[in-house]
Amino acid sequence: MRDYRNFYIDGQWVAPVEPKTADVINPATEAVAGTISLGGVADVNKAVAAARKAFASWSQTTREQRLDLLLAIQAEYARRQAELGDAIIEEMGAPSSLAHGFHVGLGAGHLQTAIEVLREFKFDEQHGATMIAREPIGVCALITPWNWPMNQTCVKIFPALATGCTMILKPPQLAPFSAQILAEILDTAGVPAGVFNMVQGSGSVIGTALSTHEDVDMVSFTGSEPVGVQIQKDAATTIKRVGLELGGKSAFIVLDDGALAANVAGATGGMMGNSGQTCSAGSRLLVPAARMDEVIAAAKGAADAVTVGDPTGNVAMGPVVSKSQYNIIQDYIQKGLDEGATLIAGGAGRPDGIDKGWFVKPTVFVGTNDMVIAREEIFGPVLLIIGYDDIDHAVAIANDSNFGLAGYVSGTDVDQCRAVARRMRTGWISINGGFDFHAPFGGYKRSGNGREWGEHGFLEYLEVKSLLGYA
């Protein structure tokens, strides 16, 4: 059983000011997997003070010094990658192939991207007699969710380090193990004291203390819309920058062509990845209404083929993260039934043969865009298929949402895919499965503000200074 009761502050592993612990539950077994400490305001104050002190020197380091540190971190991350994967299986139930694959791979990818961007990034640009300088914003609070623990943590830490910022990480209480190992990696790699700090605890305590703290210059938060709204309100009193990556209800538009069945199957299987616990998941599948029978057959076949079970084994889908998340998803499934959506796969309760753990059936409905299950983020393996009459209708449905985080378009006519993608009001759109670590990621509307990933991720952590008469 894991025992992670110390925080990482000012280059040291330290006990919390006031002892308070919480158990971490393995969602596949419902057994206690470990213990963490829950920090308080006093712990936050210590971490912020350490980060503020360290900023004076770290902000003045050279590009080469920061590159050397990132390369040292990269070597240590590779050495402990298997441990990170094991931790992710335990803390949030990701299947072994996913935990050891895409989960830890995303963290490694963001680290490599930060190295690549840092090598070429223009911190200074001369415009006539004026020098435009980009300088680190200062002390950053990084508040991360449990669903993709390495992705969401690394996409913040490494750009912050690369740009010369110092930071305090508040990992998710439900999935804290991988963050603890990552802190050990940073320590071993030689991150200077105070540059990186980590305090575990509840969002309502640690997140609020960081968001309201006078000496925190920027908050980067990934999580739910209500919490993001509260953080923005809390940060307003000190006029600090806030970057928010919030919820999504992303549309996946499948074009009417010969690849329809394959694209529907791919979209359905993709939705079930990570047990549907992905903010950018294509949870609304938009298909030509005239071919709904073909669509239903393809989607049902794909959903029924998803293997669910012990995440340490060879399965495609593990449990959802907690009992409360399981109950929320079950409520949404019932709402879908109550609203008259047609259930074509899955449904309520655990999969057959499973009587322990927070496992959900891969579930597919056919319905309309005005249903609750089309409007609200479920954050589970629940897909809603919606028929469209023509492309204009498909785009209108896609854009009829309070969210605008991601989108997907699949079809054989690439020009048509591009044209459809251009019309979708969302921040990140994948055409025929496209993926790019350097592409900015972030949302329109209630999905948040700001952008992470690649060069745009660096800009989140930089202030702009104009030096007039410089030349």
pLDDT of residue 53: 98
Contacts of 241 (CB under 8 A, 6+ apart): 137, 217, 218, 219, 460
55 close to 196: Cβ distance less than 8 angstroms: no
Q: Is the pTM of this model over 0.85?
A: yes
Q: Where are the beta strands (DSSP E) in 200-310?
A: 218-222, 241-245, 251-254, 284-288
The predicted pLDDT at position 456 comes to 98
Helix or strand holding residue 444 (H, E)? strand 444-445
The single residue listed with the structure tokens 């991207």 is 113
Burial track 257-286 (b if 16+ CB lie within 10 A, e otherwise): eebbbebbbbbbbbbbbbbbbbbbbbbbbb
Q: Please tell me the predicted confidence (pLDDT) of residue 148.
A: 98
The correct CATH number of 251-437 out of 2.160.20.80, 1.10.10.10, 3.40.309.10, 3.90.25.10 is 3.40.309.10
Residue 337: which of 301, 375, 364 has the closest Cα? 364
**Which of 76, 90, 245, 460 does the annotation list as catalytic?**
245
> Is residue 245 among the annotated active site residues?
yes
pLDDT recorded at residue 206:
98
> What is the Cα–Cα distance from 89 to 147, expressed in whole angstroms?
11
The C-alpha angle 427, 217, 246, rounded to 5 degrees, equals 30
Give the start-to-end residue ranges of the domains of the chain.
2-246+447-467, 251-437
- 279 carries an active-site annotation: yes
Q: What is the per-residue pLDDT for 253? A: 99
CATH number of the domain located at residue range(s) 2-246+447-467 in this protein: 3.40.605.10
How many Å apart are CA 214 and CA 279, to the nearest integer? 30
Write out pLDDT tens, residues 346-359: 999 999 999 999 99
Catalytic residue among 279, 377, 417, 452: 279
User: What per-residue confidence (pLDDT) applies to 334?
Assistant: 98
Which stretches in the chain have pLDDT values below 70?
none
